[in-house]
Structure 1
């Protein structure tokens, strides 16, 4: 199968390259060429900028694909190459287009759980992450219904795993635990989120290709949901370290001047997904539960040589990182109350 990945340099895109190669498919990656990356042998590269319509047209002209996996779709929100022009470029030239959306495409704060694919979508503007994902979903469903554009939408929950470049998730938590740093926990540790291993996401995207039941459909993909307390407890057990948990009073939260914990801990609402539809129509179920997936991720973390690291990692796309000095300052203030 001849496949194209839009965005294949980091995290999900990088793991998707691996998944497709292992399945024996021909792989081409399209990206801006600005992120230094060594693609595996046999993987071709198209350099094009998704915020530049002319660049995308030049890169994709006279190409045809059995499957296109769109993993970098949010960059289009920056302007230039919009969603409609991408569909025009691919119309009639792709056998199956798989779009990576997000749990953020749901209307956040819904009072019922779990969320299912037919529940309300975000009403935020397209300049926001969730708003853009919801807009793209609606466009693809419409294009399939009106013109037969062969699209499938995958909605993952909180994705973690090897190569994760969102540096306010498991990487700093492993470091806090190993170094005995305070772990600030808001909202009594009760916020509950569905998590999914990146390789389960990639395998679900591949499983949708060629499945007529997947066309024009949206699928939630994740494993189980856990509370913040459970998140910390499981990762502490995996690392073999004692967790130094500091509960953050609600009245302290508005006074914070910068992030003091991972972004998934700070929501006032839960994010719990139902994956029954994907199980029925795609015949996919997660290989990694929360614990096994994080054991796998901890093995990868140790292979990076990051144990004992004090210098923060910063991703240029998400601007996510950590500041252990600030966290220690807030912990000291709370303990002094």
Structure 2
């Protein structure tokens, strides 16, 4: 079996690349050549810019793949380009969408693939919805062999999943925990969230590859473990050997004052409880089962980040902003109590 991965070195796709090689697939990656130093032996690498359609067409001329997986398309123009490129070149095209495309809060606490797609807070999610629409039209009208996959919050050992962070990832939050400084949690921390380890996600994804029952279908792949944000932060603290000091702040307030895109990531996603019904992926891929509990995943992340300096990205700007938010709210509390 032959696979072409567009990207192939990100949080999700790197685990898929490794698993495909383990299963004996012939794997070709096409990307701009960044972060390819950790690719498993035997992977073919084609360095090209997908935005240069003519260059890619020439590079792939005469080739055929059982599955093409697109990890780095974000707007309709990019999937329209892919339809032109890969029609007749592949038996299956998998598009990575996003579970942030689901309308939240949902009418039912369980999210299924039939849940309405709508996100007024996040352009990223609206673009993914538009991409899905283009691809499903191509499937219905022209038989383009698409499968849509919607990941939720998927992580690997290089970055602990956190709700409120800065531009440099989660390391600064871990530092605040170790220093005994309060860490900001959106809302009251009781909304439910789902995080999925990338190696578990890869099992479901690879099971969809070459799967005729997945054609024309949209599927989300997530863990069945639902945790409150308080539990997520506390699990990270235990992995660090500390009890974190949690400071709860309204998601609306954070989105209105932050220099970061919390409008989309919080109001459009992480501030609302999500529980996923994974019966569809389990029906399509019977072997799919998430085996990494988050407390275990948190320890894997902390151990890896402690031993890999490149993952320990300091973020003094975010650290100072957290202090400013907390100090401002504490002053407001004090002033109101004194009145």
Q: Normalising TM by the smaller chain, what interval?
A: 0.7 to 0.9
Q: 1:275 aligns with which of 274, 278, 287?
A: 278
TM alignment of 1:55-204, pairs within 5 A: 55-74=55-74, 76=75, 82-122=78-118, 128-164=123-159, 168=165, 170-204=170-204
TM-score (norm 2): 0.83
Mapped partners of 2:57, 2:86: distance in 1: 10
Mapped partners of 1:155, 1:11: distance in 2: 14
TM alignment of 1:1-337, pairs within 5 A: 1-33=1-33, 35-38=34-37, 39-74=39-74, 76=75, 82-122=78-118, 128-164=123-159, 168=165, 170-223=170-223, 224-248=225-249, 252-253=253-254, 256-259=257-260, 267-283=270-286, 284-305=288-309, 309=312, 311-312=314-315, 323-336=318-331, 337=333
Mapped partners of 1:192, 1:262: distance in 2: 19
Contact 1:47 1:59 survives alignment (8 Å) = no
Mapped partners of 1:206, 1:130: distance in 2: 24
Mapped partners of 1:165, 1:262: distance in 2: 21
Q: Deviations over 1:21-45 (max 9, x none)?
A: 2222221111123x35313332222
Q: How many equivalent pairs are there?
A: 322
Cα shift at 1:255: 5.6
Unaligned 5+ segments in structure 2 are: 334-339
Cα shift at 1:327: 0.8
Of stretches 138-147 and 220-229 in structure 1, the one that deviates more from structure 2 is: 138-147
SS in structure 1 at match of 2:309? coil
Report the CA distance shift for 1:322/1:157 in structure 2 as closer, same or farther (over 3 A).
Answer: farther
Report the CA distance shift for 1:177/1:264 in structure 2 as closer, same or farther (over 3 A).
Answer: farther
Unaligned 5+ segments in structure 1 are: 313-320
TM-score (norm 1): 0.83
Q: Deviations over 1:76-120 (max 9, x none)?
A: 56x5xx312312211222122222211122224334221110111
Q: Deviations over 1:210-264 (max 9, x none)?
A: 2222111111111122221111111112221120212225785466242498985
Instruction: Output the aligned Cα RMSD.
Output: 3.0
Contact 1:184 1:260 survives alignment (8 Å) = no
Report the CA distance shift for 1:274/1:50 in structure 2 as closer, same or farther (over 3 A).
Answer: same
Q: Give the structure 2 partner of residue 315 of structure 1.
A: none
SS in structure 1 at match of 2:246? strand
Cα shift at 1:326: 1.4
